[in-house]
Amino acid sequence: MNQKIFTAIALFAICLTTIIITVQAGQTQFSRASEFNSSTQPNSLPNITFQNPDVELPRTCALQPTNNRTKTPVQKIIPPRQLSLERFRRFGSSPNSPTINNPPSFLRGRVNYTPKESITLADPTNFGERFVFDLYGKSAYRSPIVVLHETVGSASSAINFFRTPHPIESEQVSYHTLIKRDGSIVYLVPPDKRAFGAGNSVFAGTLGKEAVKTHPEYPPSVNNFAYHISLETPSDGRDNRSRHSGYTQAQYQSLAWVVAKTGVPSSRITTHKIVDRSGQRQDPRSFDGSTFLRLLETQPKTNEISIDCQPPS
């Protein structure tokens, strides 16, 4: 009898231990799942949508391009977490200039303008690393510039093209950011990466002509120190004519909002037409520079969007 009681007690203890372990394991699993969801779901960032939730790219620069035909590949890491908006612009950056407290009547309602933002990462074949040194071993650092473009086609066609792999280098192209007709902002390439926005180009500023050669078969360009922004073209501008009906007020507002977050001074904001050396680029056509600059003055300049990358260790 005593033996039966002992056996029963032992079995009960084993069952109780198993139940406790199972419950604890379940609680741990639920806790980890809750932690993952709370830190990765796009709902934690209101008004942000994601097209590539499983891609993260390193923030390091490449040291130097090579003289062979093999392009330095962009490393693609796929961790189990969401690609955050802070990969494209950093929050909490202090402004370099104050916000206008009492704007004139034509600016009211625009100073606190906040556009809709989304992320659609371009395929890694369509952008590359920024380099510390050029093809010849000289410093490739230049102060950042902003280059303005237009899509010529629709925003959706441009985005689809950037998301498509292009193993042939002559077909590779991208912008960092695209602004739709309704003012929505689409981030395509992280700012510390080199978008292929202006292949044969030079920036003529107060320091002289600036360009960096990063490929043995292609001419120098501004891409290594440029942040490329494109405006979606109106439907009547999807041709080769010199002008079209222009861009929307929402596009100018969003453009000013984005450019201000680069902290780039007005003297280093330019267009594809100006930096192009081939004489074939006209974009952005029908661009109203005075409207853009007036809106830009209402925005506090920050360093939320920085093209800086970390040198390789």
Could you report the per-residue pLDDT of 159-174, keeping only the tens digit for each?
A: 999 999 999 999 999 9
SS3 call for 60: strand
Pick from 117, 122, 119: which is nearest to 261 by CA? 117
Q: Between 163 and 74, where is the model more confident?
A: 163
The mean-pLDDT minimum among 19-23, 120-124, 147-151, 240-244 falls in 19-23
Is 132 a member of any domain? yes
Is 265 a member of any domain? yes
Residues ≥6 apart with Cβ < 8 Å to 90: 303, 304, 305, 306
Find the angle CA(239)-CA(233)-CA(242) to the nearest 5 degrees: 45
Residues ≥6 apart with Cβ < 8 Å to 235: 154
Is 103 a member of any domain? yes
Q: How many distinct structural domains can be found in the chain?
A: 1
Q: In angstroms, how far apart are the furthest CA atoms of the chain?
A: 103
* Dist. CA 189–CA 181, nearest whole Å: 20
Count Cα atoms within 13 angstroms, Cβ side, for 34.
6
* Dist. CA 62–CA 128, nearest whole Å: 9
SS3 call for 278: coil
pLDDT at 207 over 70: yes
Are 121 and 52 within 8 A, CB to CB?
A: yes
Q: What is the mean pLDDT of the chain?
A: 80
pLDDT at 80 over 90: no
Are 118 and 51 within 8 A, CB to CB?
A: yes
Are 93 and 262 within 8 A, CB to CB?
A: no
pLDDT at 208 over 60: yes
Pick from 146, 79, 74, 158: which is nearest to 120 by CA? 158
Is 21 a member of any domain? no
Provide the residue range defining the domain that includes 63: 41-296
Is 313 a member of any domain? no
List 177's β-bridge partners, or say none.
Answer: 187, 229
Is 187 a member of any domain? yes
Q: What pLDDT score was predicted for residue 90? A: 87
Are 191 and 85 within 8 A, CB to CB?
A: no
Q: What pLDDT score was predicted for residue 23? A: 36
- From the number of C-beta atoms within 10 Å of its C-beta (0-12, 13-18, 19+), residue 69 rates as exposed
66 pLDDT band, cuts 50/70/90, is confident
83 pLDDT band, cuts 50/70/90, is confident
Are 186 and 158 within 8 A, CB to CB?
A: no
Q: Between 51 and 157, where is the model more confident?
A: 157
The mean-pLDDT minimum among 36-40, 240-244, 248-252 falls in 36-40
Pick from 192, 176, 161: which is nearest to 57 by CA? 192
Q: What pLDDT score was predicted for residue 56? A: 65
Share of the chain above pLDDT 90, in %: 62
52 pLDDT band, cuts 50/70/90, is low
Pick from 254, 300, 283: which is nearest to 103 by CA? 300
Q: What pLDDT score was predicted for residue 310? A: 82
Pick from 64, 68, 74: which is nearest to 216 by CA? 68
Q: Tell me the one-letter amino acid at 44.
A: S
pLDDT at 24 over 90: no
Q: What pLDDT score was predicted for residue 21? A: 37
Q: What pLDDT score was predicted for residue 45? A: 36
The mean-pLDDT minimum among 62-71, 118-127, 225-234 falls in 62-71
pLDDT at 257 over 80: yes
pLDDT at 272 over 90: yes
Q: What is the pLDDT of residues 295-304, one digit of tens each?
A: 999 999 999 9
Pick from 135, 180, 145, 105: which is nearest to 264 by CA? 145
* Dist. CA 225–CA 204, nearest whole Å: 13
pLDDT at 242 over 80: yes
H helix intervals, the chain:
2-40, 155-163, 249-260, 272-275, 289-296
* Dist. CA 163–CA 150, nearest whole Å: 18
Is 255 a member of any domain? yes
CA distances from 80 to 46, 83, 84, 122 (A): 21, 10, 12, 19
> What CATH number corresponds to the domain at position 141?
3.40.80.10
Q: What pLDDT score was predicted for residue 92? A: 64
Residue with tokens 């406790």: 20
Is 80 a member of any domain? yes
Q: Between 146 and 3, where is the model more confident?
A: 146
